[in-house]
Structure 1
Amino acid sequence: MKVNLGTGAQNSRDWERVMAGNFSTPPETPDHQCVQAALALGDLAEPLGFDGIWFPEHQGTPYGMTPNPIQALTYFAGRTERVSLGTFVAVAPWWNPVRLAHQIAYLDIVSNGRYNTIGIGRGVSKSEFAAVGVPREESRQRFNETLDILELAFSGERFSYDGEIFSFPEMSLRPEPISKDLFSRIYSSSSTAESLEILSRRGMVPLFVGNKPIWDAGEEVKKVNTFRAEEGFEPCQPKNVMFMYCTAKEDDKLAALTEEWIWTANRDVNVHYGFADSSNFKGVKGYEAYAAREATATAVLASQVGDQKKGGPPGYHASNLLIGTPDVVFEKLKAAQEACSFSEVTIVPQFGTMPYEDAMESTKLFAAEVLPAIHDLPAPLHPAALPENATV
């Protein structure tokens, strides 16, 4: 099985200042230090034997600070020779589709065809949409039209487009990419049942980030393959992103630390995306499923994290957290593949308030003691991920 390294810049300890609206003082840790630490983590990927480097797309808050993942991947294209490149995910509605197509094509050239997981999504965060001046009500239409335009742009033919939002005159994609199969490299991330069905019937392959129990993701793979079968497509396997901390030994002190890191990671997700307040989604076209959710992620922030750990914010499910000794991490990863049938996995070794130094040591231990065994582990499409009466 292939294993990629995912990294993004987190300044998790700055959330207290941001949520208090205390902008008269700078962050305790400058953002550039977090970015540089995330890049240093990415530098470990090729020498340690990982198969790829992946980046997310976020801006405007302390969460995942990578405003252009293609730019970050281009940086690594010039620093590496072997590893593949991926996004988890580029948020399509924030881009001009022709600009996005050209940037993908340019990265394809400078990496010599190594951008092989073009993960794209629709986006969620109210603040991020507002920051780039894009109405969230248009996100689904923008996403769908962007897919149309990317398919045309990567066809190798001259193309034009006239949609509800985007219109472009006849043109060519210049420079032309090296790879002729770029559209088939697009993987879609979706968080609602409606989006999952729309994308599956279009032939898109899912990309899962650990925000649901792994067995629920497995059920979604079965739904995806059922929709695909009804449209005449072959069964597919998703790609998964999972969060990882590998340690030589476990003790009570470490357990308390990892609990804090998980708690703060879940807090970061809920506050960044606005899940703590369902009114962020009420009346917003395309986000009805979010508005219907219980606002269980009550805005959580306290100087003493431990005071609020019990019943803390929902977020990354335990089945997606690869935390423990090398043996434990291996068994969890093996069980996750059996439950979800993913074809490859991207591990994210830093989350929440975990220091990047700890993430780097964890990554090195994982590479030494887990990665070789995972490379030898098959990643098949299991019968449970197929439609009824179907065979592999």
Structure 2
Amino acid sequence: LEIAANAGLGMLFTNSKKWEEYQADVLHFNQIRVANGWEPKQPTVVANVACFDTEEEAWDVMLEHTGKFQESVERHYHFSESARFAATKGYKYYAEFGKTNEKTTPEQRAQFAAMPQAWGTPDQVIEKLKHIQQMTAAEEMIMNFRISGGMPAETAERSMRLFASDVLPAIHELEGTMPEELSGRPAAEAVPAD
């Protein structure tokens, strides 16, 4: 995060932890930007979406394909072998991630990764996306409908079409605001709200 902030870049969050935990990252990132004389930035957030007529189908789709994706990540990165990350500079987060993986089952990891995503009926997806925006101060959201892990294109398309018809109009009405307390500005320099 520090490298991107000091380079004048933006933030991209892909949900590797609870949404609530990103507020500290947004604040820290913006404190660095402000110290460099730049304006605060709001992040772009990526969320997996499973939007279906029933909560049960949405959860089943989200859990199945998130679980398969988690398996492919493990095969590729071998996070369960956390010791090999601990000795490599810049990989402390991966070492901690690996320690967590060593203590959990694949099913638990799939549930942990799937739970905070935007899944459910259209009304539930709207509420979850509102929550994500409020927790992260996201200015933009990237919706991923074809969750890695072998999801059939037809399943993703059904979800995307329902999202487009029943969720997108409500989401377009949202304002992607950032609370001043995440701006990184000292309180005395805070820009007053209109």
Q: Work out whether the TM-score is over 0.5.
A: yes
Q: Is the 8 A contact 1:270 1:315 kept in 2?
A: no
Say if 1:358 and 1:218 are closer, same or farther in 2 by CA, change over 3 A.
same
Structure 1 moving runs of 4+ over 6 Å:
none
Paired residues for 1:167-186 under 5 Å? none
Q: Is the 8 A contact 1:297 1:314 kept in 2?
A: no
**RMSD (CA atoms):** 2.6
Q: Is the 8 A contact 1:215 1:339 kept in 2?
A: yes
Aligned length: 188
CA distance in 2, matches of 1:270, 1:391: 45
Q: Is the 8 A contact 2:26 2:43 kept in 1?
A: yes
Paired residues for 1:63-142 under 5 Å? none
Q: 2:99 aligns to what SS in structure 1?
A: coil
Q: Is the 8 A contact 1:281 1:290 kept in 2?
A: yes
Q: Is the 8 A contact 1:241 1:348 kept in 2?
A: yes
1:284-325 CA distance string (max 9 Å, x none):
33324423545332499xxxxxx962x346863633x00000
**Is 1:204 paired with 2:1?**
no
CA distance in 2, matches of 1:275, 1:382: 35
Say if 1:294 and 1:368 are closer, same or farther in 2 by CA, change over 3 A.
same
* Structure 1 residue runs without a partner (length 5+): 1-195, 301-306
CA distance in 2, matches of 1:273, 1:314: 20
Q: 1:221 aligns to what SS in structure 2?
A: helix
Q: Is the 8 A contact 1:270 1:313 kept in 2?
A: no
- Which of 36, 41, 46 is the matching residue for 1:231? 36
More helix by share: 2
- Which of 259, 267, 270 is the matching residue for 2:74? 270
- Which of 158, 162, 166 is the matching residue for 1:369? 166
What is residue 284 of structure 1 aligned with on the other side?
88
Shift of residue 382, structure 1, vs aligned partner: 1.9
Structure of higher CA gyration radius: 1
TM-score, normalized by length of structure 1? 0.44
Q: Is the 8 A contact 1:247 1:326 kept in 2?
A: yes
CA distance in 1, matches of 2:138, 2:103: 33
Say if 1:203 and 1:276 are closer, same or farther in 2 by CA, change over 3 A.
same
What is residue 341 of structure 1 aligned with on the other side?
137
* Structure 2 residue runs without a partner (length 5+): none
TM-score, normalized by length of structure 2? 0.83
CA distance in 2, matches of 1:250, 1:317: 13
Letter in 2 for 1:332: K
Between 1 and 2, higher relative CO (CA 8 Å, sep ≥ 6) is seen in: 2
